[in-house]
Amino acid sequence: MTDLLSITPPEAQAIVAAWLTARGEPQYRLRQILPRLWQRPIAQWSDASDLPAPLRAALHAEFPLPRLILAARQLSTDGTEKFLWRLGDGEAIESVLIPEGKRRTLCISSQVGCALGCVFCATGQMGWRRNLTAAEIACQVREVEVQGLGARPTNVVFMGMGEPLLNWEAVDKALTLLNHPDGLAIGARHITVSTVGILPSLAALSRRPEQFRLALSLHAPTPHLRRELMPVEKKYALPDVLKALAAWRRRVTLEYVLIADRNDSLEAADALAKLAKPLAAHVNLIPLHPGGAPDLPPSPYARMLAFERRLKSHGVEAVLRRSRGLDISAACGQLRVELEGRPRRKVGAELHAHVD
C-alpha cells in the first residue's frame, strides 16, 4: 500500500500512472483520480462517484487515504475556530482558522507538542511528543474542506503546535503539497513559516525558489531578555539569527508577544526598532492570550498602544493585532491541555537531536 498524500504530486502521478497501466486501465482515469487527492479532495475513494465501483475498491486497497479525526471543535463569537485533530496513533494536534474578510487563514501544527519551552506558550509547557509527517501537516488544510468546515483556507501559517524548522524534512515536503499547482495550490506568498530561528533549517528554507514568507518569533529585543523567555536563545543566539535574516531575500516579519512588565517598556520598543529597521522588517505586536500562559499577565491595552506608537515613531512598520478567540481555547496548545491534561514529556533532548 502507498500513501499518496505523503508524496509530492509528481511522485503520486508517476505511481498511479504505472498502477493503472499494470491493471490495463485507460490513462484518462489518471485525470479523474489525481484531483481527488488535493484539488477536489474526498474523504475516501468510495466517494469518487465518477469512477467505476471495482476501480474505487482497488484504489482503497492499494492507496488508502489516511484521515485526521476531528476530536473537538470550538467556535468563537469573533468567527475564530479551533480544531483538535486525533492522529492515527492517538496523539492530538491543533489548528486555528481565522476568517478576516475574504481571507481564511489556517494556523497549522508541525509537531505534537514542542521541545522549546517558551514561557508564554502552552504547547511549550507540554513538551515534545513526536514530529508530524508531511501528510499530517498538509492534511490539516485538506480536512477543513473534506469535512465541510468551510471553504478551503486561502492562507496558511506554520504557527501552531511545534517548531517547523525542527521538523524540516516533513515541513519541506508539506510546503510542496500546499503550494504545488496539482496540490492544494496555495500561493507561496500566502504561506508563512514561523520559527524561533533554527539556523541550519533556516538556510535550507532560504534555498527554496518559491517566495514563502518568513516570520521570526522574536518576543524580546536583547539576548538576555530573550533567554529568559525562550530557552532556545542558549543554542541560537539572537545576533546569529539576525545575521541570517539579513541574508534572507525577502521581507521578514518579527512576531512580538507583549507581556506586562517583561518586554513592553518604551525602552524595549526603542531596542526593537534598532533590530527591525536594518531588516526593513514588519513587526506584528501580539497581545498575550491568557490561555497560553496563565501565570503571565498580558500587557495593558494602553501600554501596547504606546509600544506600537513608539515603534512607528522610529519609522518601523508595526501593527498591534487584535486578540482572537478569547472566549475559546485558542492559545496554541490550550485546547489539548484542557481536554487531555499535560502529556508526559518524551524522554530525550529533541532540540539537540534535530539540530546538533
Indicate the SS3 state at residue 113: strand
Separation of alpha carbons 337 and 335, rounded Å: 5
String of b and e for 50-72 (b: at least 16 CB within 10 Å)? ebeeebbebbeeebebebbeebb
Tens-digit pLDDT profile for residues 294-350: 789 999 999 999 999 999 999 999 999 987 666 655 455 455 454 555 444 443 334
**CB 73, CB 12: distance < 8 Å:** no
Q: What is the reported pLDDT for 315?
A: 98
Residue 344 pLDDT: 47
Is 233 labeled as catalytic in the residue annotation?
Answer: no
Looking at residue 36, what DSSP letter applies?
A: G
* CA–CA distance, 322 with 182 (Å, rounded to integer): 35
* Span 212-235, average pLDDT: 96
| Cα–Cα distance for residue pair 243/206, rounded to 1 Å | 13
SS3 state at 277: helix
> Does residue 131 contact residue 178 with C-beta atoms inside 8 Å?
no
Active site includes 332?
yes
End-to-end CA distance of the chain: 34
Buried b (16+ CB within 10 A) or exposed e, 186-217: bebebbbbbbbbbbebbeebeeeeeebbbbbb
**265-285 CB burial, b ≥16 within 10 A, e <16:** eeebbebbbebbeebebbbbb
Looking at per-residue pLDDT, the higher value among 121 and 5 belongs to: 5
Q: Which of 94, 143, 308, 350 is catalytic?
A: 94
Residue 325's pLDDT is: 60
Whole-number pLDDT of residue 214: 97
Considering 114, 118, 121, 332, which one is annotated as catalytic? 332
Measured CA to CA, the distance from residue 299 to residue 303 in angstroms comes to: 7
C-beta of residue 124 within 8 angstroms of C-beta of residue 177 = no
At residue 72, what is the residue type?
Answer: A
Pairing of strands 282-287, 252-258: parallel
Which is nearest to 287 in space by CA: 314, 312, 255?
255
> Interior CA angle at 64 toward 63 and 65, to 5°?
115
Percent of the chain with pLDDT over 70: 90
Domains of the chain: 4-62 (1.10.150), 74-355 (3.20.20.70)
Helices 301-313 and 266-279, axial angle in degrees (round to 10): 40
pLDDT tens for 182-207 read: 999 999 999 999 999 999 999 999 99
Contact 322, 99 (CB under 8 A): no
The string of pLDDT tens digits covering residues 128-142 is 999 999 999 999 999
Q: For residues 313 and 106, what is the distance between their CA atoms, to the nearest angstrom? A: 32
pLDDT of residue 123: 80
Among 242, 231, 248, 243, smallest CA distance to 272 is for: 242
Q: Using CB atoms within 10 A of its CB, is residue 135 exposed (0-12), middle (13-18) or buried (19+)?
A: buried
| Percent of the chain topping pLDDT 90 | 81
